[in-house]
Amino acid sequence: MTSIFLRITLDGRRCEFSVHRKVHLDKWNSRTQSVLGNSAEAQEINRYLSGITNEIYSIQQNFERKNVSYSAYDMRDVLMGKDKTKKMLLEIFQEHNDKVDSLIGKDFAAGTAERYRTCKKHVADFIKKKYKKNDIPVKDVDHKLITGLEYYLKNHSQVCAQLCD
């Protein structure tokens, strides 16, 4: 008996994991990705695999509907119940701005809070234009994004251009 593995490939990146089912190799149909025969065991495994496939498509549709960035590993994590809530860049930016707003007159001036709100708007515009998403996970913030944002700000924003110099 050999273990059955599921492979999710998204944007050329693979994620493979066991589905915790085993089958005799001579009973496996690699073309249809199912167990051969009509035995109760074959039917149960095939139904189980079909259910996983449907769930993967549903998870993908949910990610697409939310218009968020995701990977094959993210899909696996949701399927396996290991979905960790992603910290999103603009959500964190908004939390920061809310804290700044609550400290106007104590630690921050109203003008400073306004500049943070303006900067967040420019970051949101950049993410929308460059990534065609409403927000991105903080884990996706890398050197490429930072330099791309700097270029965008210098070329598309008079207000934030001063911040980059």
- 75 near 63, Cβ under 8 Å? yes
Q: Where are the domains of the chain?
A: 2-79, 89-164
Per-residue pLDDT at 87: 82
The whole-number pLDDT of residue 163 equals 53
For the chain, the 3-state helix, strand and coil shares in percent, each to the nearest 5, are 60, 15, 25
- Encode the chain (165 residues) as per-residue pLDDT tens digits: 899 999 999 989 999 999 999 999 999 999 999 999 999 999 999 999 999 999 999 999 999 988 888 899 999 988 887 766 668 899 899 999 999 999 998 888 999 999 999 999 999 999 999 988 889 888 888 999 999 999 998 887 565 545 554
Q: What is the pLDDT at residue 85?
A: 62
Cα separation of 60 and 82, whole Å?
A: 16
- Check if the beta carbon of residue 45 is closer than 8 Å to that of residue 4: yes
The structure tokens 């066991």 sit at 18
